[in-house]
Amino acid sequence: MKKSSIIGIVVIAIAIAVIISTYSNTSTYGSFNDAKATKSELHVVGQLNKTKELFYDATKDANYFSFYMKDNKGEECKVIYSGTKPQDFERSEQIVLTGKMKGNEFHASKILTKCPSKYTDEKLKVTEVSARKSANL
Amino acid sequence: MDIIFKGEHLLPGQLGQFFVVLAFGAALFSFICYFFATQETAPKSDNSWLRLGRIGYWLNTVAIVGMGVCLFYILYNHYFEYHYAWSYTSRELPVYYLISGFWNGQEGGFLLWMFWEAVLGNILIWRAKSWEKPVMTTLALSQVVLGTMILGLQIGSAHIGSSPFMLLRNSGIEGPIFQNANYLDFIKDGKGMNPSLQNYWMIIHPPTLFLGSASLVVPFAFAVAGLWKRRYKEWVQPAIPYALFSCMVLGTGVIMGSFWAYESLNFGGFWAWDPVENASIFPWLILVAAVHVLIVYKNTGHSYFTATFLTLVAFVLVWYSSFLARSGVLGESSVHAFTDLGLFWQLVIGILIFLAITAYLLISRFKEMPITKKDEETYSREFWMFVGAIFLGLSCFHLIVVTSVPVWNLMFGTKFAPPTDPVKHYNVIQASFAVVIALLSGFTQFLKYKKTDVTRFFITTLIYLVFAALITGLAVYATGFYKLHFVFIIVMLCSIYTIVSNGKILADSFKGKYKLAGSAVAHIGFGLLLVGALISAGTQKVVSENLTGEQYSVEFAKDENPKENILLYKNEPLKMGEYMVTFKGDTIEGASHFFNIDYQRIKEGKVTESFTLRPNVIQAQGGMSSTPDTKHYLFHDLYTHITMTNVISTAPQAEEASHGEEGDDKNYDAPVAHEIAIGDTMTYRDGIIVLKGLNKNVKLQNIPLTDKDIAVGAQLEVITHGKTYQSEPVYMIKGRAVFDFGKKIEDAGLKLRFTKIIPGQTVADGKVEITVYQQPESKKKFIVMKAIEFPYINFLWAGTIIMIVGFFMSILRRNKEVKTV
């Protein structure tokens, strides 16, 4: 067999492996109900419930932040994030959480918030925070 | 009825808009002329098409410079009637940031891209000789496509391009304010610059990155020209130096970006695998692969198709990454993607134009390409260079597949989310590719061009591999790297192997084989870069571990989430790792709010080292952005940034002052009254207070005292956290009324009042009552901060610089080989 064909086969094999590994590594966007059903981490999109308490008191614990979020299906759940409260969190109009359920609380490892810019509604500002920012290799 | 607006400066905008249209028209004209000049077959033409094409391109260049001047004039004079000036700058912005305001918006980015392309085009007109016509056709076409992006034409509800000279009142922002003829009187200042962009790196990083991306058009244009004019073999040699130049500049631009992220963003690192970051290295990876295969083709005549394919695709990827960053498609997955300016479909068309050219030429010319039927020699350098290039391509393929998840969702209507732990996902898979690439860039150097003595090759390879393994073993042990996934240890081994084997080649090159020096240096740099990235990302350590935080639930405590933020009250030292850290205070300089944090390394009771770090928080555009400060050592960095503070509040502060005495007490805990005699000590939460004596000769400002009045000051000494403060609250009887004047010690969060005198049997026996108000913990000034240690990060930066030097040496070498006709 020619070497170029061997290389061709190897390349195709690796390409397929890459696609499969990506496919198996991608997670899904779900609701809190989906989160209760699974043990793996997933993304939940929703809005902050501004009527309920946002708890963050750096003097008690600088790494504890909790709030209530309604997912896109309207279900509400308490969310706990071990880190500081992201800037302008109250103004967020959409939140994307990454994390999993523990008991009745959703433990977020990452929060992505979208805030309407102060002056124009057409432009959105996106910020992201991550509880474990230090890359774990 | 039209309103006649007052105070607007319309001339620079109109002039600018004229240049925008001129640039587009001239580019189109130049493209058409160059196209016909290339197609001309008459043996003795008068070159009039060529001359017209050149004139068109020069006109385009002049127009681009004109646009730049107009835009800068608008920014410099703060003409906020222009949307661009209003959106990205403000009056207090220093001039050097006005320059970065220039490319703050997407329009400015396109302008910069066009500018570099104009510069490169003029160099090619001067130097490309017989290649000028076809190559410049492609460059002019690229200028046309870019020109449409900033045209700002409104056709019905659709618009083509977004012009930097758009007026604020036409920008789609609705407001009753624009009904006023003198609306400008109400717009005193612009929105200001996004705080995270107010950094000196933002002045040089974007131009470098754009020069890199723009320069990719040159190898693309040469490949197109070669296929188009059927000069299949000739285009490769002149294209190589340009391709190397692109690799060098684009690589520099990307690393500058990561240095900026490390120095001034609070990601906590130099690379976060953010989609926009990934997009910026797609073209780089493919172009580096292309350069290798081009050299393979030049030396052996093998792999023509791959070389051409990679060169063409690299430029298509420039457009694709520009689409990812600018179209808003990454909205949910990226931190710093731009939002859609309504250019989504225009960017798609941009990609499709260059993709179509690539596909058409590759397919229509496939049969004529000089593709060899002979198999390649296994023990030749070219064969393994080719394999290495393929793996670079695969690594890029993986990045594209994962980064484009939102694009797949859009195309196929699926709803995949990116990996939940993207960093881990990318690290492991990209590390596997890095193993192969680093290994290949090591042993391939021992092979000869075309054919090698096999036994000798295996012996040298093995010797250096053992040598590299020894160094790796030491390094892994010394840095604590062995705790990580085995893939990373293998990458480490391969990277060190690359360094030592290329070190050997470099040593040889001093003995006369100087031709290989450039490649050896570039590969050493690459290896060092990998080593630095691996160690610093792999063994970085959060120093600010919080050991005091209250536990909220057992569940929460069990969670392995490290508590990475610590709370520091002003002037209360805290032990953090090896350091004693103290939050000393804050200073405001312009829009920046600096926090002074003292670090003291204490060994056996002695301070061995002490320094101050000043992370800052910038407030602008209604938001805050935290900028870290880093203490650089030769072998590690200590990185600190503020994650939260109560010193700055976004709420208006005016209220607090107006509450007066009553309200003031609310800022303190319930007062505690102590009855003490001179010399006595009372304790409070944060220290002790000693009554040193009573001062009967107190002078009070503005209050004249008569003989009958009594005013006594209590001389108090407060000792807290190793600091001593003096305070003297006063007790006064004037006439029949009793007054007391409390004193505050802001730094200690204390208010002390002298509230009573209790006469005793004798004078010495007398006691006084001191009321102590202390601020509750939450009212005291505090910061929450995070500190990370990055070991050996200097290897990463040093590796980059060495790699760039290597690229530069290779450019010099390859440039000598070129004999352009």
Chain A residue at shortest CA distance from B551: A61
User: A93 CB near a chain B CB, below 8 Å?
Assistant: no
Comparison of pLDDT for B27 and B778, the residue scoring more: B27
Query: Confidence band (pLDDT; 50, 70, 90) for B550?
Result: very low
Beta strands in B398-463, from DSSP E residues, in sequence order: 416-419
Identify the pLDDT of residue B663. Answer: 56
Closest partner residue to A3 (CB to CB) among B331, B375, B646 is B375
Chain-chain contact of B623 with A120 (C-beta, under 8 angstroms): no
Which residues does chain A have within 8 Å of residue B398's beta carbon, measured at their own beta carbons? 18, 22
Comparison of pLDDT for B247 and B175, the residue scoring more: B247
Query: Confidence band (pLDDT; 50, 70, 90) for B337?
Result: low
Q: Indicate whether A9 belongs to any domain.
A: no
Mean pLDDT of B408-412: 88
Q: What is the ipTM of this complex?
A: 0.76
Identify the pLDDT of residue B658. Answer: 41
- Flag the least confident range among B50-54, B63-67, B516-520, B655-659: B655-659
Mean pLDDT of B110-137: 94
Measure the CA–CA gap between B708 and B257, rounded to whole angstroms. 74
| DSSP collapsed to 3 states, B222-249 | HHHHHHHCCCCCCCHHHHHHHHHHHHHH
Measure the CA–CA gap between B522 and B500, rounded to whole angstroms. 13
Query: Confidence band (pLDDT; 50, 70, 90) for B218?
Result: very high
The yes-or-no verdict on residue B501 having pLDDT over 50 is: yes
Closest partner residue to B565 (CB to CB) among A4, A63, A123 is A63
β-pair partners for A71: A46
Taking Cα atoms as reference points, which of B37, B71, B77 lies closest to residue B57? B37
Range of the domain at A99: 28-130
Q: Indicate whether A6 belongs to any domain.
A: no
Measure the CA–CA gap between B340 and B406, rounded to whole angstroms. 14
Chain-chain contact of A3 with B542 (C-beta, under 8 angstroms): no
State the nearest Cα–Cα gap between A68 and chain B, in angstroms.
Answer: 17
Which residues does chain B have within 8 Å of residue A125's beta carbon, measured at their own beta carbons? 623
State the nearest Cα–Cα gap between A99 and chain B, in angstroms.
Answer: 8
Chain A residue at shortest CA distance from B272: A135
Taking Cα atoms as reference points, which of B98, B99, B100, B33 lies closest to residue B60? B33
Identify the pLDDT of residue B148. Answer: 93
The yes-or-no verdict on residue B247 having pLDDT over 90 is: yes
Mean pLDDT of B355-384: 89
Q: Indicate whether A19 belongs to any domain.
A: no
The CA distances from residue B396 to B283, B291, B318, B331, B358, in Å, are: 9, 15, 13, 22, 19
The yes-or-no verdict on residue B316 having pLDDT over 60 is: yes
Contact B646, B782 (CB under 8 A): yes
Query: Confidence band (pLDDT; 50, 70, 90) for B2?
Result: low
CATH number at residue A94: 2.40.50.140
| DSSP collapsed to 3 states, B691-729 | EEEEECCCCCCCCCCCCCCEEEEEEEEEEECCEEEEECC
Which residues in chain B (250-289) have CB-CB distances under 8 A to chain A? Answer: 267-269, 272
User: A19 CB near a chain B CB, below 8 Å?
Assistant: yes
Identify the pLDDT of residue A126. Answer: 41
Measure the CA–CA gap between B577 and B544, rounded to whole angstroms. 7
Task: Round the average pLDDT of chain B to a whole number and report it.
Answer: 85
For B129, phi then psi, to 5°, come to: 50, -115
Contact B393, B286 (CB under 8 A): yes
Measure the CA–CA gap between B258 and B271, rounded to whole angstroms. 6
- Flag the least confident range among A22-36, A123-137, B15-29, B784-798: A123-137
Query: Confidence band (pLDDT; 50, 70, 90) for B657?
Result: very low
Taking Cα atoms as reference points, which of B81, B619, B109, B626 lies closest to residue B337? B109
Which residues does chain A have within 8 Å of residue B644's beta carbon, measured at their own beta carbons? 58, 62, 84-85
Contact B351, B282 (CB under 8 A): no
Query: Confidence band (pLDDT; 50, 70, 90) for B267?
Result: low
Identify the pLDDT of residue A117. Answer: 42
* Segment B631-654, tens digit of pLDDT: 888 888 888 888 877 777 544 333
Specify the pTM. Answer: 0.83
The yes-or-no verdict on residue B538 having pLDDT over 90 is: no
Identify the pLDDT of residue B343. Answer: 84
What residues have CB less than 8 Å from B416, skipping those under 6 apart? A26, A27, A28, B405, B408, B409
Closest partner residue to B555 (CB to CB) among A2, A85, A103 is A103
Chain B residue at shortest CA distance from A66: B552
Chain-chain contact of B173 with A29 (C-beta, under 8 angstroms): no
State the nearest Cα–Cα gap between B164 and chain A, in angstroms.
Answer: 16
* Segment A85-134, tens digit of pLDDT: 877 777 777 788 888 888 888 888 888 776 554 333 333 334 444 443 33
Domain(s) labelled CATH 3.10.450 in chain B stretch across 571-647
Which residues in chain B (373-432) have CB-CB distances under 8 A to chain A? Answer: 375-376, 378, 383, 386-387, 390, 394, 397-398, 401-402, 405, 415-421, 423-425, 427, 429
Chain B residue at shortest CA distance from A94: B332
Which residues in chain B (465-494) have CB-CB distances under 8 A to chain A? Answer: 484-485, 488
Q: Specify the residue for token string 């195709």.
A: A12
Residue type at B523 in one-letter notation: H
The yes-or-no verdict on residue B772 having pLDDT over 80 is: yes
Which residues does chain A have within 8 Å of residue B402's beta carbon, measured at their own beta carbons? 22, 25-26
* Segment A10-22, tens digit of pLDDT: 888 888 888 888 7
Query: Confidence band (pLDDT; 50, 70, 90) for B728?
Result: confident
Measure the CA–CA gap between B245 and B815, rounded to whole angstroms. 11
Query: Confidence band (pLDDT; 50, 70, 90) for B549?
Result: very low
Query: Confidence band (pLDDT; 50, 70, 90) for B328?
Result: confident
Query: Confidence band (pLDDT; 50, 70, 90) for B623?
Result: low
The yes-or-no verdict on residue B659 having pLDDT over 60 is: no
Chain-chain contact of B540 with A11 (C-beta, under 8 angstroms): no
Q: How many domains does chain A have?
A: 1
Chain-chain contact of A126 with B337 (C-beta, under 8 angstroms): yes
Q: Indicate whether A44 belongs to any domain.
A: yes
What residues have CB less than 8 Å from A7, skipping those under 6 apart? B386, B387, B390
Chain B residue at shortest CA distance from A25: B419
Closest partner residue to B420 (CB to CB) among A27, A64, A120 is A27
* Segment B16-50, tens digit of pLDDT: 999 999 999 999 999 999 999 998 877 667 788 99
Chain-chain contact of A43 with B556 (C-beta, under 8 angstroms): no
User: A78 CB near a chain B CB, below 8 Å?
Assistant: no
Residues in chain B: 821
Closest partner residue to B335 (CB to CB) among A15, A88, A128 is A128
Closest partner residue to A7 (CB to CB) among B268, B387, B784 is B387
Task: Round the average pLDDT of chain A to a whole number and report it.
Answer: 75
Query: Confidence band (pLDDT; 50, 70, 90) for B609?
Result: confident
Comparison of pLDDT for A134 and A68, the residue scoring more: A68
User: B623 CB near a chain A CB, below 8 Å?
Assistant: yes
Chain A residue at shortest CA distance from B537: A135
Identify the pLDDT of residue B410. Answer: 87
Q: Which helix (H) or strand (E) holds B269?
A: none
The CA distances from residue B307 to B36, B393, B749, in Å, are: 28, 12, 70
* Segment B138-177, tens digit of pLDDT: 999 999 999 999 998 877 777 888 889 988 888 776 667 7
Taking Cα atoms as reference points, which of B15, B7, B147, B149 lies closest to residue B73? B15
Closest partner residue to B394 (CB to CB) among A15, A58, A80 is A15
Identify the pLDDT of residue B621. Answer: 58
Q: Are strands A42-48 and A26-30 parallel, antiparallel or unpaired?
A: parallel
The yes-or-no verdict on residue B114 having pLDDT over 50 is: yes
Query: Confidence band (pLDDT; 50, 70, 90) for B680?
Result: confident
Mean pLDDT of B103-114: 90
* Segment B435-456, tens digit of pLDDT: 999 999 999 988 877 667 888 8
Chain-chain contact of B646 with A58 (C-beta, under 8 angstroms): yes
User: B749 CB near a chain A CB, below 8 Å?
Assistant: no
| DSSP collapsed to 3 states, B729-791 | CEEEEECCEEEEECEEEHHHCEEEEEEEEECCCCCCCCEEEEEEEECCCCCCCEEEEEEEEEE
How is domain B571-647 classified at the architecture level of CATH? Answer: Roll (3.10)
- Could you tell me how many CB contacts below 8 A there are between chain A and chain B? 173
Identify the pLDDT of residue A47. Answer: 86
Identify the pLDDT of residue B340. Answer: 67
State the nearest Cα–Cα gap between A30 and chain B, in angstroms.
Answer: 9
Which of B83, B330, B332, B542 to mutate to test binding with chain A, by most A CBs within 10 Å of its CB?
Answer: B332
State the nearest Cα–Cα gap between B647 and chain A, in angstroms.
Answer: 13
Identify the pLDDT of residue B654. Answer: 36
The yes-or-no verdict on residue A25 having pLDDT over 90 is: no
Which residues does chain B have within 8 Å of residue A105's beta carbon, measured at their own beta carbons? 555
Which residues does chain A have within 8 Å of residue B535's beta carbon, measured at their own beta carbons? none
For B800, phi then psi, to 5°, come to: -60, -45
